[in-house]
Amino acid sequence: MQPTDSGEREFLLRRAAEIWRYFRENCTAASHHLPPDNVQLSPPASGADRTSPTNIAMALAGALSALELGIASETEALTLCGNILDTIGRLPKWKGHLYNWYDTKTLAPLDPAYVSTVDSGNLAAALLLCAADAETDDASLAGRMRALAEKMDFAALYDSEKNLFVIGFD
């Protein structure tokens, strides 16, 4: 793989800064620091009052990537991750898994209370990758991420007769 030239690097850093801005501006106390599923840009409106495990995974990965790329301060990125982890700790779960959708204002799972194997996998992967990355910046944050991933019981989502994971659990 060839290294990117300076123009490509600048283009990618601008896109990364835009992604970081999305999480920085939308993961606020009003949403319990959880990212909205989407934000309507035209006409302008606030973010959706719902989130998913994949959205949460992307916010965590986005914060630590922004830190690594030098577009977020250590305090800013680690504080957001810590706030998200605090909220995850308060969310109702099934066998360690987050439900597929939560109301970001009330933190209640949205009906139907469903666990998506794909979303759970996205969150577990992000937690473990972020934990490995955060280890040098904040060992306690990394430990919290690992602990959340380890509590996710993937055996509950595995069909041993078919030798594959189920799509989810309702």
Q: How far apart are CA 3 and CA 33, in angstroms?
A: 36
pLDDT digits (tens, 9 = 90+) for 35-67: 999 888 777 777 789 999 999 999 999 999 999
As given in the structure block, the two tokens for residue 158 are 């595995």
Predicted pLDDT at 41: 79
pLDDT digits (tens, 9 = 90+) for 1-21: 565 788 899 999 999 999 999
Question: Average of pLDDT values for 99-121?
Answer: 97
Q: How far apart are CA 59 and CA 80, in angstroms?
A: 9
The pTM of the whole model exceeds 0.85: yes
